[in-house]
Amino acid sequence: MSVPRTNGKLIVISGPSGVGKTTICRALRGRGRIVRSVSATTRVPRPGEVDGKDYFFLTREAFEAKQAAGGFLEWAEYAGFLYGTPRDFVEKELAAGNCPLLEIEVQGVEQLRGLKFPGLYIFLAPPSVEDLRKRLEGRGAMAPEVIERRIAVARKELERKDLYDHVVVNDTVDRALAEVLKILDAAL
What's the rounded mean pLDDT across residues 20-37? Answer: 92
Distance from C-alpha of 37 to C-alpha of 101, rounded to nearest angstrom? 5
Per residue in 136-167, is it b (16+ CB within 10 Å) or e — as a string? beeeeebeeeebeebbeebeebbeeeeebebe
Cβ burial of 62 (10 Å; 0-12, 13-18, 19+) is middle
Tell which residue, 29, 33, 30, has the closest CA to residue 13: 29
Q: Residue 173: its pLDDT value, please? A: 95
**What pLDDT digit, counting tens, does each position of 159-187 carry?**
999 999 999 999 999 999 999 999 999 98
Q: Which residues 6+ apart lie within 8 Å of 163 measured at CB? A: 106, 109, 110, 113, 121, 123
CB 87 within 8 A of CB 50: no
- Alpha-carbon dihedral sign for residues 34, 35, 36, 41: negative
Query: Would you say residue 146 has pLDDT above 70?
Result: yes
Q: Residue 6: its pLDDT value, please? A: 52
Cα–Cα distances (Å) from 45 to 38, 84, 181, in that order, read: 14, 15, 32
Which residue type is seen at 9? K
Question: Could you give the domains of the chain?
Answer: 11-187 (3.40.50.300)
What band does 3 get if pLDDT is binned at 50, 70 and 90?
A: very low
DSSP state of 172: S
What band does 17 get if pLDDT is binned at 50, 70 and 90?
A: confident
DSSP state of 122: E
Query: Would you say residue 86 has pLDDT above 90?
Result: yes
**What pLDDT digit, counting tens, does each position of 87-129 carry?**
999 999 999 999 999 999 898 999 999 998 889 999 999 999 9
Q: Which residues 6+ apart lie within 8 Å of 186 measured at CB? A: none
